[in-house]
Homo-oligomer: A and B are copies of this chain.
Amino acid sequence: MKRIQVKKGQILQRKGDLHTKAYEVKSGLLRSYAIDEKGKEHIFLFAPEGWIMADSNDYDQPAALFIDALEDTILIEKEKLAVKVHEMSKLIKRLNVLQQRVIMLMSASAIERYEHFIETYPDIVQRVPQRMIASYLGITPEALSTVKRQQVLKK
């Protein structure tokens, strides 16, 4: 359990890594993402200040996701065992967020997803490139542009 500083762009975990850690974000921003068979990135979660970012895997299992820093970030690196015992509820919340994402991807239109996103992460919209928000929403950057234009016109 140690305090670490990482630079924007630094990769903390790669798919396949063993003995992965959990990261509690003190300041900055992390993301976790997967790369599909076609080589496309899909963002799973953003973790701003106060969040814990941890791969879901067990000790023996290789990591399923990549984790990197979208901003210079200060974090506490923890052994997962410690997380398991003491921070269970935070990890469980993470599972809930994932469930909400499945519902969203199955039922909501691009506009609805975007509106939900800015409710959930009002500050992050300004902090990450549009194409990453598109990736999180499961749409193309072009479609996101259109959504935002309609969004503005509505007001």
Contact B95 A42 (CB under 8 A): no
Contact B102 A102 (CB under 8 A): yes
Q: How far is the CA of A112 from the CA of B37 in the complex (A)?
A: 12
A7-49 contacts to B, CB under 8 A, are: 34, 36-38, 40, 42, 44
| Residue A131, interface by CB 8 Å | no
Chain A residues with a Cβ closer than 8 Å to the other chain, count: 30
| Residue A107, interface by CB 8 Å | yes
A92-115 contacts to B, CB under 8 A, are: 92-93, 95-96, 98-99, 101-103, 105-108
Q: Which of B37, B42, B58 contacts A92 (CB 8 A)?
A: B58
| Residue A138, interface by CB 8 Å | yes
Contact B42 A103 (CB under 8 A): yes
Contact A57 B105 (CB under 8 A): no
Contact B105 A105 (CB under 8 A): yes
Q: How far is the CA of A108 from the CA of B36 in the complex (A)?
A: 9
Closest to A96 in B: B56
| Residue A64, interface by CB 8 Å | yes
Known: A36-B103, A42-B102, A58-B88. 18 other contacts (CB 8 A): A36-B106, A36-B108, A40-B107, A42-B106, A42-B107, A44-B102, A56-B95, A58-B89, A58-B92, A58-B93, A64-B96, A65-B99, A95-B95, A98-B102, A101-B102, A102-B102, A105-B105, A105-B138
